């Protein structure tokens, strides 16, 4: 398993993967030394993440290999269908998966998504439009949604 640490506008991201695909991308709350030489297996992921943060990428084209239960895998797969710049609710996601009563299980699986940004769990919000829990912190979720928003916030000053 290869590891790389890259600097992003939201902190240091830790990327894990191998020839079978990416297993994990998480943002850290502590400082870590940025990887000087990116392992070959992670080069494309680093390149695409940098493009995303520069505003030049809306979709990722990477081999993914997250580890989780069958249900978690199903939820994570459904997250990939949420378009860039759009959001959905936990309730709508549950309906998409065929069981409106599974909303808590869907929310739990969403929170365990190991592939930050690439599998866009940040695009799931509360039914009332509120920013509900996010493993990377609500400030990061807000930043990501604003970054993807078609109507960019303008500064008054």
Q: Which of 121, 124, 144, 145 is catalytic?
A: 121
- Measure CA 152 to chain center: 20
Q: Measured between alpha carbons, how far apart are the two ends of the chain, in Å?
A: 47
The answer to whether residue 9 is catalytic is no
Active site residues: 121
């Amino acid at each position: 398993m290869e590891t790389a640490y890259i600097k992003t506008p939201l902190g240091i991201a830790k990327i894990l993967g191998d020839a079978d695909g990416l297993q994990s991308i998480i943002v850290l709350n502590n400082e870590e030394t940025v990887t000087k030489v990116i392992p070959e297996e992670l080069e494309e992921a680093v390149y695409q993440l940098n493009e995303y943060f520069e505003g030049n990428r809306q979709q990722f084209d990477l081999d993914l290999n997250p580890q989780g239960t069958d249900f978690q895998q199903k939820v994570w797969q459904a997250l990939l269908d949420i378009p860039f710049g759009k959001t959905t609710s936990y309730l709508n996601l549950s309906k998409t998966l065929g069981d409106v009563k599974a909303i808590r299980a869907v929310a739990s699986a969403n929170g365990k998504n190991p592939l930050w940004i690439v599998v866009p769990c940040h695009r799931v919000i509360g039914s009332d439009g509120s920013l509900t829990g996010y493993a990377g912190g609500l400030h990061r979720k807000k930043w990501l949604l604003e970054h993807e928003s078609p109507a960019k916030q303008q500064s008054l000053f």
